Amino acid sequence: MSIGTYSMIREILEKSKYTVAMCGTNMMKESGMPSLRSPEIAYKVEKKYKYSPEEIFASVFYTNRTETFFKYYRDEMLKPPLEPSEGFYAMAELERQGLLQCSITNNVYNLPGRAGCKNILNLHGTVYDNECPRCGKKYPMEYIRDAKKIPLCEKCLIPVRPKVLLFGEQVDNQLMTKAVGEVAKADVLLLLGTTLNSGLCEGYVEYFEGSQMIIINGQEHYTDCKADVVLHEEVKTALPKIAWPNGKDKK
């Protein structure tokens, strides 16, 4: 990819008064997250737990087969912890430089926040937020990860609820409204590791009325033609060149 493309995107961000980034599934994959829907993962999980990932990671399963849910959740989602890729650190740098005002994501590992972003909408919640549904006591991720069986509230002795969106549940209405509001007031919409018709973007991009829509994604997609600028490169290699045009280290 020519240096001019990185410079052009950088110039667009510098001219923008309000830029919103939407971080998609491919950014999670760049951080090492396997796709729950891939045939290999589905086969492995079904062989081990007798249920598919989509069956286990569902609200009905959580309610009816709580112990199996937590075994899967601990072993497959919390061990080992997922770490942010260079793309997320570049997002945090753009925010520090005043070139990115808000990040919207549906990954449950709070990768933008752990890389240093401050203004984030985690549409699907995070594994770091857990609470007792009765008394509201908060518990850290480690409490869930280190539990031998079902993690119980120390006060109420009922299962602690991970505040992540399970299959069959809807995104919180207040979060959806905030996300729509952020997209609507953006001058520039930066789609990172995602496509226009993805579960993350669909339902939100229709509210975008700004001047420039930029896609940075390693894979081509038929909806790319609707964007103003498209860069077919992994976010973890492309975005650092935009955030640090002089090759500065993230630290």
User: Within 13 Å, how many C-alpha atoms sit on residue 203's CB side?
Assistant: 9
Q: Are residues 220 and 233 in the same domain?
A: yes
Q: Are residues 217 and 180 in the same domain?
A: yes
Q: In CATH, what number is assigned to the domain containing residue 235?
A: 3.40.50.1220
Q: Are residues 184 and 157 in the same domain?
A: no
Question: What tokens were used for 95?
Answer: 């925010």
Q: Are residues 7 and 64 in the same domain?
A: no
Q: Contacts for 33-38 with beta carbons within 8 Å, 24 or more apart?
A: 33/82, 33/107, 33/109
Instruction: Give yes or no for a contact between 183 and 208, defined as CB atoms under 8 angstroms apart.
Output: yes
Helix segments in the chain, DSSP class H: 3-15, 25-30, 39-49, 53-56, 59-64, 66-72, 86-96, 111-115, 141-145, 173-185, 235-243
Distance separating alpha carbons of residues 70 and 142, to the nearest angstrom: 13
Q: Are residues 214 and 186 in the same domain?
A: yes
164, 188, 216: which is the final residue of a domain? 164
Give mean pLDDT, residues 170-198.
Answer: 96
Q: Does residue 37 carry a pLDDT above 80?
A: no
Q: Helix or strand or coil: residue 5?
A: helix
pLDDT classification of 32: cutoffs 50, 70, 90: confident
Q: What is the pLDDT of residue 44?
A: 87
Residue 61 φ/ψ region, left for φ over 0, alpha for ψ in the -120 to 50 degree band, beta for the rest: alpha
pTM reported for the whole predicted model: 0.91
Q: What is the pLDDT of residue 250?
A: 43
Distance separating alpha carbons of residues 19 and 13, to the nearest angstrom: 7
Q: Are residues 91 and 183 in the same domain?
A: yes
Per-residue pLDDT tens for 219-248?
A: 999 999 999 999 999 999 999 999 999 886
| Bond from prior residue into 80 cis (ω within 30 degrees of 0) | yes
Domain range for 160? 129-164
Give mean pLDDT, residues 172-183.
Answer: 96
Per-residue pLDDT tens for 41-95?
A: 888 889 999 999 989 999 999 999 999 999 999 998 998 778 999 999 999 999 9
Q: Are residues 21 and 59 in the same domain?
A: no
Q: Are residues 49 and 72 in the same domain?
A: yes
pLDDT classification of 187: cutoffs 50, 70, 90: very high
Q: What is the pLDDT of residue 90?
A: 98
Q: Helix or strand or coil: residue 164?
A: strand
Q: What is the pLDDT of residue 196?
A: 94
- Tally of domains within the chain: 3
Rg of the chain's alpha carbons, rounded to an integer?
19
Phi first, then psi, for residue 193 (nearest 5°) are: 65, 35
Give mean pLDDT, residues 181-196.
Answer: 97
The proportion of the chain whose per-residue pLDDT surpasses 70, expressed as a percent, equals 96
Q: Are residues 96 and 203 in the same domain?
A: yes
Per-residue pLDDT tens for 100-138?
A: 999 999 989 999 999 999 999 999 999 999 999 999 999
Q: Are residues 182 and 115 in the same domain?
A: yes
